[in-house]
Structure 1
Amino acid sequence: MVQERRPGYLWALAVLHELCCEIRPMWEELGSPRVEVPGIPPDVREAIVRQYAPGERDTDPRWLIEAALLALSENRDELEEQRLHLAIRALAAAGLEPGEPLSAGDAYRQGEGTFHIITTNAGMISVSTLGPFFRLRNDNARGRTALRDAGFRHIGAELGATEFTGLHVYFFGRRDPLPVNDLLFYWQD
């Protein structure tokens, strides 16, 4: 019986947070319900929740509550700039001759996104603005090693394909859950 009523309770918690209240004790009393997304590292989960919750109309209320309970973040623009400089230095130190980073909007000549593209002598690398995450356009072992050694997480095929169930995000006319790759490296015109 409680399971059937839980979604209503969760919506009530989300509304209470928006209106006035500290909801953590009530959320904990309900058993701290979260949407389970197996295989997602905590830093990836937090970055995506910070960026996309509350999401679109059909988003599961547990995502809204999780976002509400996150600690305040530091200056995102400053961190993004620091990470980008760190990535450039790491790639240069590995002898990959990185070019000037291009934002997703500049790279596609319109719109905006959550990543920068860095062209190297071994191929293109995308660096997320949401956290220390990167993806490779080809099998660039030196780039992967250089960025991992600098503290970045590689978003490979398996992790990148993992869908964020219940978190509906607008993406080229659709409002559905998206995989990690599309969320960390999002572009919209």
Structure 2
Amino acid sequence: MKLLMSIDLYLWNHFVPKISEDFFKRKFNSVLAMSYISLFKLPRKFLMNYFRGQGRSMVVDTQKLVVENETVLNKLKSSVQQSFREGQKSGFFCISQADIYNPAYKYSIGSFRINYKFTGTVVEVNMHSDYRFQESPDRITRHIHHWLFTLKSRNKTNDFEIFGKSWMTSVNELFSFKTEKQQKNEPKLRLLV
């Protein structure tokens, strides 16, 4: 899985920006992209949910989603810290697909909203996203989305929501969380100077 993520990040940073929208006009290339995305477990679950067309909600693990994506974790910490300091009882912020590091989430959830609320020093975190394919969204893969949108217009599939199981943690514990990437970057040997 880590090798696949490394390949994906390389492609995402060096290959995808050079792709023109004409690349996805060919059905073979669209199918190839869909096949690649389905190598990851969560996107495979997402595609099966979408193609079966039952409009069933998809449930994800909020804690894993947050902790496995450095930008999401850092945004959550920052937002919670500000809300907690100001004495607010709840808050939310939005995440775009560009903020997602882990391809398992990048290709299955896209953009979403993180909600949190406080009970004393305990914070309850969850996520929510309504997934709808648009006829011509402003994105490089709009031809894939248009192709899938035609399935929806022929009543072969339905929109659905994606939500995260509630994750409860103390505010202090939240601030101590680090992503796997952050842990790797820490020095192995710490010297007292």
State TM-score, norm by structure 1. 0.26
Structure with more of its chain in helix, by fraction: 2
TM-score, normalised with respect to structure 2? 0.26
Q: Which has the higher contact order (CA 8 A, sep 6+)?
A: 2
